[in-house]
Amino acid sequence: MIIKNVKLVNFRCHSEYKLECTEMTSQILGENGSGKTSVLEAIYEATRGKSFRAIDAEILKRGEEFYRIEIEYNNGERVIVVYNGAKKQFLVEDKKFARLPRKNRYPVILFEPSDLNLISASPTKKREYFDRFMSGFDEKYTSNLNKYKKALKQRNEALKSDFTTKDILFSWNVLLAKLGCEIVEKRRGLINEINNELTDYYHSIAENKDKVWIEYLNFGEIDEILIDESQYLRRLEADFERDKILQHTSFGIHKDNYKFMFNGRDADGSASRGENRSVILALKFIEAKKLQENTGKKPLVLLDDVFSELDKKRQKYLVKNFQNHQVILTSVTKNLN
């Protein structure tokens, strides 16, 4: 058992809410729009340090001045999150922090209904998924990605100025090239690790001989494109006039994409709905394994109304794979005995 209970005050639609967790599976039942997902969002924020859905101002219950989350772990440790309308603080062991300390973050597997449509999702949604996957256990990757996004935003802002020159952009170009190459290496490494196991996990669910893998489309172009910092930098400089017209950076790892392959063909279109969902289940099982291997902790599993999207067979595999984890799930109707 990881989490003992969760208390919310003024969090989205909840004026006050308390969830007493069980050792293995806790169910949050209610109609659509009753705030079930908000409870998972609060748990995620208190365990990972930020929401997976929105900024704090959007989370605060309308008309209220603050929101509060309190999580009590089974070992007696408490983490309290307070947002007062202007800033957020984390209270851990009677100390206040602007961010949740790394040592107090707990690995989480978040499974949303939209994840089941990942194969046909936009490049942005796929990047967000795999970035969250990697960020669950690689703090340097998270730091580099945040720095990259900040530098990209500043470069894009500079491109909107009539007075911007290549020289003005040079420092941003250098930083984007350095961080971009480091991020590429991490992303490619993660996909290689996933591909080493994806087909085997898929077979355990689908019980057939199909082969599945993921192609990492670096810069949204072709799989396994090789580029170093100097090449990256030259490309950014070469695109200066084009970027000035577009007023944004047209080349970089923010254009990366991931393509799911099924027996040598694009799974989006060639695989059935059930086959695609088996692939995503296999991917989630690998995510849980990687998190545990890299953090030494068994991840908490948050399932947001995914049972209604799966047939009985895949529900069975989902329960079986996470049977030794603490699971907190939402549903309109009761799913488990």
Q: What angle do CA 222, 250, 129 make, to 5 degrees?
A: 60
* Contact criterion met (CB below 8 Å) for 255 and 216: no
65 pLDDT above the threshold of 70: yes
Average of per-residue pLDDT across 252-267: 96
Q: pTM of the full predicted structure?
A: 0.92
SS3 5: strand
Two structure tokens written together for 153: 């935003």
224 pLDDT above the threshold of 90: no
Phi then psi for residue 45, to 5 deg, are -65, -40
1 pLDDT above the threshold of 90: no
The reported pLDDT for the residue numbered 171 is 97
223 pLDDT above the threshold of 60: no
The reported pLDDT for the residue numbered 335 is 59
Domains (range + CATH), the chain: 3-106+299-331 (3.40.50.300), 115-289 (1.20.1050.90)
56 pLDDT above the threshold of 60: yes
* Single-letter code of the amino acid located at 313: K
Q: What is the dihedral of CA 180, 281, 311, 2, to 10 degrees?
A: -110
Q: What is the dihedral of CA 326, 145, 51, 119, to 10 degrees?
A: -70
222 pLDDT above the threshold of 90: no
Average of per-residue pLDDT across 280-309: 96
Query: Which range has the worst mean pLDDT, 117-126, 190-199, 310-319?
Result: 310-319
304 pLDDT above the threshold of 90: yes
Which helix (H) or strand (E) segment holds residue 25: the answer is strand 25-29
DSSP state of 296: S
User: 4 pLDDT band (50/70/90 cuts)?
Assistant: very high
User: For residues 302 and 27, what is the distance between their CA atoms, to the nearest angstrom?
Assistant: 10
User: For residues 65 and 141, what is the distance between their CA atoms, to the nearest angstrom?
Assistant: 35
